[in-house]
Amino acid sequence: MRTPRTRVNHAIRVPQVRLVDADGSQIGVVPTREALRRAQERGLDLVEVAMNADPPVCRIMDYGKYKYEKEKRDRQARRHQSTSRLKEVKFHANVAEHDYETKIRHAREFIQEGHPVRFSIYFRGREMAHTDLGFALMQRVMNDCRDVGRVDQAPRMIGRNLVMLMAPQSHK
How many CB atoms sit inside 10 A of residue 20's CB?
20
What is the DSSP track for 65-130?
HHHHHHHHHHHHHHHH------EEEEEETT--HHHHHHHHHHHHHHHHTT--EEEEEEPPGGGGGG
Q: What average pLDDT is seen over the chain?
A: 89
Would you say the pTM of this structure is higher than 0.85? Answer: no
Who contacts 40 (Cβ-Cβ below 8 Å, separation ≥6)?
Answer: none
Peptide bond into 116 cis (omega under 30): no
Alpha carbons 128 and 157: distance in angstroms, whole number: 11
Domains of the chain: 9-78 (3.10.20.80), 87-168 (3.30.110.10)
Tens-digit pLDDT profile for residues 49-77: 888 888 889 999 998 898 898 899 888 88
Residue 122: the pLDDT is 93
* Parallel, antiparallel or unpaired: strands 87-92 and 57-61: unpaired
